[in-house]
Amino acid sequence: RISGLKTPNKVLMVCDIPEEEVDLPLENDIVIYLDHIKDPGNFGTILRIADWFGWKHIVASPECAEVWNPKVIQSSMGAVFRVKVHEMDLINLAEHMPDKKILVTDMEGVNVFENAVTEPSIIVIGNESHGVSPDIKAMANGAISIPRGAGSKMESLNAAVATGIILAAIKN
């Protein structure tokens, strides 16, 4: 009865929310930055994908869904406890990591499958509806894209799906 789900799991966990300590710069050569990811399901799925590919940190803009939202936790399938989420704006992150290029995801960017990410970078994943914010695009050193198949009529990819494709391309 205490769960918010119609058909909950038989286990319910109650715990303290840990205090966030950001130790910059992050050790990752490639840092994933989430720009205005509002959907808790997307946010949790991105954490799950990051965990799958071995990322230990994700940085989220202050406008993202709240990391401890029950839907984020559920869709992360436990990744929320293994991937540290740091909340900060991109300007602050970039100041602490000046050696990293800022690459935004954009339909007009360089094909991610053609070694588009070859040096330490901050990769910005944009909002589900509006893409990367104009102010963040203005800070970017470049853009990467996932090529659309011939004849595709789709406008865009889901933010979590795009993150999975990009991380797979980088790991490859």
Average pLDDT over residues 83-100: 93
pTM of the model: 0.91
Q: How confident is the model at residue 13 (pLDDT cuts 50, 70, 90)?
A: confident
Average pLDDT over residues 40-47: 97
Q: Which own/partner contact pairs does 132-138 have at CB distance under 8 Å and 24+ positions apart?
A: 132/35, 132/104, 132/105, 132/106, 133/35, 133/36, 136/35, 136/90, 136/102, 136/104, 137/104, 137/106
Average pLDDT over residues 40-69: 96
Average pLDDT over residues 57-63: 95
Among 12-21, 28-37, 60-69, 158-167, name the one with the lowest average pLDDT.
Answer: 12-21
Average pLDDT over residues 52-76: 94
**Which of 147, 107, 105 has the alpha carbon at shortest distance from 122?**
105
pLDDT at 159: 95
pLDDT at 5: 76
Q: How many residues does the chain have?
A: 172
pLDDT at 27: 72
Q: How confident is the model at residue 118 (pLDDT cuts 50, 70, 90)?
A: confident
Question: Looking at per-residue confidence, does 104 or 2 come out higher?
Answer: 104
Asked whether the predicted pLDDT for residue 40 surpasses 80, the reply is yes
